């Protein structure tokens, strides 16, 4: 009898350690479905609102602050030619495939405004590759001139350079931590050297247990 119990116990241990093999499933989200919240890193729930907020702020300020324009439309609206030179990740997390999406979202959102004319990414990439230019060195007039020359050869002159930067700040409390994400858009007028900066931030708490949220934020 004891032997039977022993066998049973050993078997049970093995069985408890295993489970069932499941196939993977997927479903299409409805428009009003909320984004999944990344448990270890920022995801759609972080980047989308950050982009929306920073772009909206940028467009709002650009109406009044920026004076250099290339030309005006038939209606008299000033149009600014913008060269968007990429998203720089200075946060402590890799952003993975979101890097491309963040670029495209910002590019499309600003491009929808009547006051901005975004130069196609393909021209910008080709020109940057040609002159071996990293985004961060484009504050130097010499590099700006090289890029301008390369883009002008493709008949794509620009007045502004748009930089996007992601940064983060982490606050730890034992095993839990809070990470503040900041998306900064900086529009640099290459003629005057003046820049217009707008940013949006979002805070996220990461916890090892459900109680972590309650303990730190009282939710």
Partner 1 sequence: MSPRAETRTSGRWQSGLCLACIAVVSMVAGCQSAAQHQLTALSAFDNGDFQASVTALDAAAEERGSEQELIAVDHAIARMLSGNALYGETELRQARSRLDYLKQKDLKEQTQAVFTDDQAVSWTPRDYERRMIDSLLVLASLQHGGEDSFAYSSQAMETVHQDLQSLQAAESERQDAEQDASEADELIVPNRFSVNALSAYLHAAVNSEQAMNSDLTDRSIRAVSFWHRGSDSSDLLTAGFGTQTGKRHGTVHVITLHGRVTDWQPETAVPTSAALLVAGEILSSTGDHTVPPNVAPVQIARPIHEAFTSRIQTRISWDNGSNVVQQTGRQLVDLNAAAFDSYQQSRDDQIARAVARRIVKKASVYAAKDSLGVGSNSGLDVVINLGGMAWEALEKPDTRHISLLPASVEVVQLEVPVGSQEVHLDPVWNDGALAGERVTVDVEVEDGRNSYVICVCPPQQPDRLIVLP
Interface with partner 1 (CB under 8 A): 1, 3-4, 6-7, 10-11, 13-15, 17-24, 40, 85-90, 94, 96-97, 99, 103, 124-125, 128-136, 175
- Toward partner 1, which CB reaches closer, 31 or 132? 132
Residue 187 contacts residue 57 (beta carbons within 8 Å): no
Cβ distance to partner 1 smaller for residue 90 or 203: 90
Work out how close the CB of 146 gets to partner 1 at its nearest, in angstroms, rounded to a whole number: 10
The residue among 66 and 119 lying less far from partner 1, judged by its C-beta, is 119
CB of 22 to partner 1, least distance (A): 6
Nearer residue to partner 1 within complex by CB, 69 or 126: 126
Closest distance to partner 1 from the beta carbon of 33 (Å): 24
Q: How far is the CB of 8 from partner 1 (least distance, A)?
A: 9
> Measured from the CB of residue 51, what is the shortest distance to partner 1 in angstroms?
17
CB-CB neighbours of 8 under 10 Å: 10
What is the rounded (10 degree) CA torsion for 215, 167, 120, 160? 130
Whichever of 63 and 145 has its CB closer to partner 1, that residue is: 145
21 vs 210, beta carbon nearer partner 1: 21
- Give the nearest distance from C-beta 10 to partner 1 in angstroms: 4
Pairing of strands 160-173, 176-189: antiparallel
Separation of alpha carbons 56 and 91, rounded Å: 22
What is the secondary structure of 68-129 as a DSSP string? --SEE-TT--EEEEEEEEEEEEESSS--TTHHHHHHHHHHHHHHTSTTEEEPPHHHHHHHHH
Q: 61 with 80: CB under 8 angstroms?
A: no
- Cα–Cα dist 95/166, whole Å: 9
Chain-centroid distance of CA 105 in Å reads 9
């Amino acid at each position: 009898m004891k032997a039977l119990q022993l066998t049973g116990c050993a078997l049970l241990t093995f069985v408890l350690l295993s489970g069932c093999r499941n196939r993977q499933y997927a479903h299409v989200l409805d428009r009003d479905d909320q984004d999944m919240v990344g448990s270890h890193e920022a995801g759609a729930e972080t980047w989308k609102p950050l982009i929306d907020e920073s772009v909206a702020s940028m467009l709002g300020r650009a109406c009044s602050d920026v004076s250099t324009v290339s030309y005006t439309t038939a209606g008299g609206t000033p149009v600014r030619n913008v060269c968007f030179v990429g998203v720089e990740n200075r946060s402590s997390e890799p952003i993975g495939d979101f890097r491309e999406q963040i670029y495209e979202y910002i590019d499309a959102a600003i491009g929808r405004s009547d006051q901005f004319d975004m130069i196609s990414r393909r021209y910008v990439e080709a020109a940057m590759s040609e002159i071996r230019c990293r985004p961060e060195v484009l504050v130097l007039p010499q590099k700006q001139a090289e890029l301008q020359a390369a883009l002008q050869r493709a008949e794509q002159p620009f007045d502004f350079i748009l930089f996007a930067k992601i940064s983060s700040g982490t606050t730890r409390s034992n095993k839990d931590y809070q990470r503040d994400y900041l998306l900064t858009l900086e529009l640099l007028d290459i003629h005057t050297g003046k820049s217009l900066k707008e940013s949006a931030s979002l805070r996220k708490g990461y916890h090892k247990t459900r109680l972590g949220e309650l303990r730190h934020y009282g939710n």
